[in-house]
Amino acid sequence: MSALTGLAEECDKTSTGRVQHTLLWKSFVLVKLPSLIEKLELKKSNKFKNGNLLYSEENKYDCHECVINQLFGFKGLINACNQLVEDDIFQAADITVDILRVCLNRKLVRKEFVNRFLELEYEIDGGDTVGLTAGNILDDPSRQIIDHLVSTATTSFLHQESRVETIFKLMSEWSTKLEVAPLATLCRSLMDVPTLLDIIHLYRHPSEFISSLERLCNTWVSKADSKESLLHDYENFGTIFLFLISVIDRYEFHKNIKDVLHDDEGFCYKWLIQSGSTYDIDSLDQEKSIITRLVSTLSDASQEIPEDLIRISPRSLIELSPTIFKEALKKVVTEDIEIAMINLEPLFTHFVKPHMSYALIGVCQSLCDDILFKGKSSISFKVLNRLILEEAFPNSIIKLIGNKLLSIFDIISENGSLPSIEDTENIIRNKIAKIMMVPNWRNTKHPAEKLYYRFKMMFKSIIYGGRHKPSLIYEIFLSENYFNNDINTEYEYITGNGGAANNLFDEFIINPSSWLGPHHLDIELFRNCLEINGPRTFVDLIVEEVLSAGKKGMGIRAAELGASLLTLPIYYTWNEYLHPKTLIKIFFMDFLPSILEKKIDMYTQSYSIGIMTLSILMMIKKDTQNVGGVDVSIDEIVGINNNVDGTNDILMMDAIISEERIGGMEGVGGTKVEIEDFTKFVLSIFKQDRDNADSDNIDSKVIQNGSKKIDDKVKNESEPKLINGPAKGFIDALLIHEDIVPELKSLVNK
C-alpha cells in the first residue's frame, strides 16, 4: 500500500522526469516487492520443513488472496495509480491486472482467483519468448536487438529481472573479451535511459558494473589495422569510459573510490583523483613532444594529423587534453579575444569529433576551474561556451558536469562578472537543463537556500503530508519562528510564472506547489545536511522536530521518520562519523538524558521520543521479534561492510532474506551500538531518580492516631520526578515491547 501511494503520487505528475520516476515505482511495485515476498515464503517453507512442521500451500494462497482483496478495496488509490500508466502499446493500463499477473507468475495466488478479476482467462507466462537472452544476443550483437533489450527492460515487468541479468552477463562477457563495439552500444543505450540504472539498482548493486569496465579501460589496446577502424574503436572506448564515470558519479562512488576501483595503480583510479589537472609542460619528458606536436597540428586546419599522433592511446589523450588546451590558450592569450577564438577554431573542430570528444570531460573541468579564478574576462569562458554550444558535444559529458556548469554561471553572475542578460548564457542553460531533464533552470534552486531550514520544511512536509494543506504546513512553519526577518528578505527568487518574489512567503503565495510536496522524501537533502552540518546538528534537528510534532498530535509519524533517518545508512561513505552507529550513540549519550530531564513539557512529547527510541532499540537488538514466521536480525537488515563488491554496502531489502549474516552495526573503528549503551546512558537517569526518591528524608512525617502519615507535599517530593512526570510517556512507549529492555519493567514497578 505504501509503494502504491508512491506510484500514485508520481502518476499525478506530467513532466518527463516524473514519468521516469513512475517507471521506477512501478518496477518496485510489480517486480521487487513480489520477488521479496516469494523469497520470504521460500525461507518460511524451508524453516517449516527443517523443523518437521507442516507447511500449507493453501494457507499461503489464502493469506495473499485476502490481502490483495483488501488492497483492491482502496479504489481511490488504485485509480490514481492508473493515471499516465501505460502498457507497451500506450493503452491505459490497470495496475490491478498487473499485480494479479505478477503474483500468479510467482505462484503467490491461484489461477482461479486471478480469473475472477479478469474478463479473459490468463495463463501463467512461460518465459521470455522474444529471443532477448544473453546467448542469442552474443550470437547477434546488433544495435537493434541491444536497444530493444534496454528499452523493454523498463516496461516488461514480467521479464524485468531476467533482462537485468542478461545486461550484466553481456557486459561481463564483452568486457572480458575486450569487445568494445557491442559493449559501447550497450553502454550508450544505458546512458540514454538513465532510469534503467536505478531499476537495475533494485536487483544488483551498481558497483558490479564497474569491476569489468575498469579492467577494460585500464588495459585495452586497439588491434585495428585501418585508420577508419582505429578511430571507430577509439570512439567506442570513449563511450565505455564515460559510462563508467557516469555510474561512479550517479551513485557517488568517488567518495569511496578505493573500495570501488580495485587497481589503485590503474588509469581509471589515477584519473579520477586528479581529473581536470594540467601539467607544467617543462616537467614532462616523453609527453612534452607529443603535447607540442598536438597543439601545433590541431591548431592548423590545413595540416593532416600524423599517423603516430592518431594512434596515441585514448588514455593518454584523456590525461593530456587539459594540458593541450592550456598550451593552446597560452599561444593566443595576447591576441584580441575574437581573433583568438578564430585561431582556436581548428582545435575545437578536431576535439568535437567522435574519436576525440570523450577527452573533453577533463578539459571542461579544467576550464571551469579557470573561470572561477578569472571570471568572464578569461578566454576560458568563451572556449567553454563554444564547446558546449557545438552540436556534436557529447551529452554524456553535460550530464556529468551540468550542475557544475550551472553553478559556475550562478557564481560569476552574482559577482558581476557576467552581464545580467546574455544570449549565449541562456542558450547554454537551456541546453543543459534539457539534457539533464530539469524542467526549468530558474526553478532548480529551492527557495530556502540554507540546509537548516530546508531540512525542517522537508521533515514537516512528510509528517503533515496528506493531513494538512501545504498552506497550513507553511503557517505551522512560520508560527514556530524558524524564519527571521533577515532570512525572509535576504533572497530574491524567480518564480515559475516569471514573477519575482521578495521573500519566501510571497513565493509560497504565488506558487505554493512549486517546491513543497505532501509526501516526497528528498534523501539528497537529508544526506547533504548530514555531511555539511555534521552528525550532532543532524540529530538535533530530528529531535527538535519530533518534540515539536509531539505537541500537535503528529509525534508518532515524526518518531518513525526520525528513527529511520538515524538507523538507515542514507550516506554512502565509510566515514564513521556519518555512520548510523555514531548518530545513535550521539542520540543516546548527548540528547536523550538532557531531553528527558529538561525539555519535556507534555506527555505526548515524551511518548513520541519513546516511540522513536523504541524503533531504534528494535533495530539494534541482535535477536528481533519473529516476523511472519521468519527470524529477522538487524545484522541482516542493516549490513554495512567495508567493501562494495556486492549488495552489502547499501540498504537493500534482499538482506532480510539473506542466509548469511552480513555483520552488525559496526563502524570503521570496530565499535558497536548495543542495548547496553541505552541502559548505561539513559536508564541510569531513571535509576538515579528512583534512588533519590527512595532516600529522600521524610522526617517531616505527621503522627496521627499512632500511625505514620506522609503529608501530600512531602509525598509528592519523595516520588520519582521523571517516571511520574512528563517523561512517563517515554517509559510507556518503551513498555509496548517490554522484552527489548527487561530492566525497564522492574525499574518502573519497584
Partner residues linked to 630 by β-bridges: 627
Q: What is the mean pLDDT of residues 130-141?
A: 75
Instruction: Categorize the per-residue pLDDT at 115 as very low, low, confident or very high, splitting at 50, 70 and 90.
Output: confident
Instruction: Categorize the per-residue pLDDT at 695 as very low, low, confident or very high, splitting at 50, 70 and 90.
Output: low
Task: Count up the domains in the chain and report the number.
Answer: 4
**540 CB contacts (<8 Å, ≥6 apart)?**
591
The span from the CA of 274 to the CA of 278, in Å, is: 9
First to last CA, the chain: 43
Give the domain range for residue 284: 275-436
Res. 515: pLDDT tops 60: no
* 410 part of a folded domain: yes
CB atoms within 10 A of CB 75: 8
**Of 385 and 443, the one with more pLDDT:** 385
Residue 479, C-alpha cell as written in the block:
508560527
* 693 part of a folded domain: no
Please indicate, yes or no, whether residues 279 and 266 belong to a single structural domain of this protein.
no
The DSSP letter of residue 702 is E
* 368 part of a folded domain: yes
Q: Give pLDDT tens digits for 442-496.
A: 444 443 346 677 788 888 878 876 444 444 444 444 444 444 433 332 223 333 3
Where residue 579 falls (left for φ over 0; alpha for ψ -120 to 50; beta otherwise) is beta
- Tell me, what's the pLDDT at 242? 96
* 473 part of a folded domain: yes
Report strand pairing: 707-709 vs 702-704: antiparallel
Per-position b or e across 217-237, b if 16+ CB within 10 A of its CB: bbebebeeeeeeebbbbbbbb
Please indicate, yes or no, whether residues 15 and 90 belong to a single structural domain of this protein.
yes
- Tell me, what's the pLDDT at 194? 78
- Tell me, what's the pLDDT at 103? 92
Lowest mean pLDDT among 312-316, 486-490, 519-523: 486-490
Please indicate, yes or no, whether residues 522 and 620 belong to a single structural domain of this protein.
yes
* 675 part of a folded domain: no
Please indicate, yes or no, whether residues 545 and 620 belong to a single structural domain of this protein.
yes
**Of 448 and 104, the one with more pLDDT:** 104
- Tell me, what's the pLDDT at 130? 52
Instruction: Categorize the per-residue pLDDT at 270 as very low, low, confident or very high, splitting at 50, 70 and 90.
Output: very high
Lowest mean pLDDT among 67-76, 80-89, 245-254, 594-603: 80-89
Please indicate, yes or no, whether residues 605 and 731 belong to a single structural domain of this protein.
yes
**622 CB contacts (<8 Å, ≥6 apart)?**
633, 634, 635, 664
* 670 part of a folded domain: no
Please indicate, yes or no, whether residues 256 and 324 belong to a single structural domain of this protein.
no
Res. 2: pLDDT tops 70: yes
Please indicate, yes or no, whether residues 403 and 464 belong to a single structural domain of this protein.
no
**Of 11 and 248, the one with more pLDDT:** 248
* 664 part of a folded domain: no
Residue that is written with C-alpha cell 529471443 in the block: 131
Q: Give pLDDT tens digits for 214-226.
A: 999 999 999 998 9
Listed in order, strand segments (DSSP E) in 401-451 are none
Structural domain ending residue among the three candidates 238, 273, 308: 273
Res. 30: pLDDT tops 60: yes
Q: What is the mean pLDDT of residues 722-739?
A: 81
The secondary structure of 311-325 as a DSSP string is: TS-HHHHHHHHHHHH
Res. 750: pLDDT tops 70: no
Closest among 313, 323, 327, 242 to 276, alpha carbons compared: 323
Residue 10, exposed/middle/buried by CB under 10 A (0-12, 13-18, 19+)? buried
Closest among 196, 137, 213, 219 to 170, alpha carbons compared: 137
- Tell me, what's the pLDDT at 83? 64
Res. 205: pLDDT tops 90: no
Res. 271: pLDDT tops 90: yes
Structural domain ending residue among the three candidates 244, 273, 302: 273
- Tell me, what's the pLDDT at 24? 87
- Tell me, what's the pLDDT at 438? 60
Percent of the chain at pLDDT exceeding 90: 23
- Tell me, what's the pLDDT at 360? 95
- Tell me, what's the pLDDT at 607? 92
The span from the CA of 427 to the CA of 488, in Å, is: 31
- Tell me, what's the pLDDT at 179? 94
Q: What is the mean pLDDT of residues 250-273?
A: 87
Please indicate, yes or no, whether residues 580 and 727 belong to a single structural domain of this protein.
yes
Res. 321: pLDDT tops 90: yes
Amino acid, res. 44: K
**Of 587 and 641, the one with more pLDDT:** 587
- Tell me, what's the pLDDT at 52? 63
Q: What is the mean pLDDT of residues 296-309?
A: 77
- Mean of pLDDT over the chain: 75
Percent of the chain at pLDDT exceeding 70: 69
Q: Which stretch, 350-354, 379-383, 551-555, has highest mean pLDDT?
A: 350-354
Res. 295: pLDDT tops 90: no
Please indicate, yes or no, whether residues 20 and 108 belong to a single structural domain of this protein.
yes
- Given a contact cutoff of 8 angstroms between Cβ atoms, the answer to whether 352 and 387 are in contact is yes
- Tell me, what's the pLDDT at 305? 79
The span from the CA of 205 to the CA of 645, in Å, is: 8
Res. 357: pLDDT tops 60: yes
Spell out the SS3 assignment of 358-397.
Answer: HHHHHHHHHHHHHHHHHCCCCHHHHHHHHHHHCCCCCHHH
* 129 part of a folded domain: no
Please indicate, yes or no, whether residues 568 and 632 belong to a single structural domain of this protein.
yes
Please indicate, yes or no, whether residues 262 and 309 belong to a single structural domain of this protein.
no
Please indicate, yes or no, whether residues 266 and 283 belong to a single structural domain of this protein.
no
Res. 318: pLDDT tops 50: yes
Res. 137: pLDDT tops 70: yes
**Of 361 and 86, the one with more pLDDT:** 361
Instruction: Categorize the per-residue pLDDT at 641 as very low, low, confident or very high, splitting at 50, 70 and 90.
Output: very low
How far CA 706 is from CA of 403, 499, 703, 710, 715, in Å, comes to: 84, 84, 6, 13, 19
Lowest mean pLDDT among 70-84, 553-567, 698-712: 698-712
Instruction: Categorize the per-residue pLDDT at 664 as very low, low, confident or very high, splitting at 50, 70 and 90.
Output: very low
Residue 572, C-alpha cell as written in the block:
554512502
**715 CB contacts (<8 Å, ≥6 apart)?**
none
- Tell me, what's the pLDDT at 174? 95
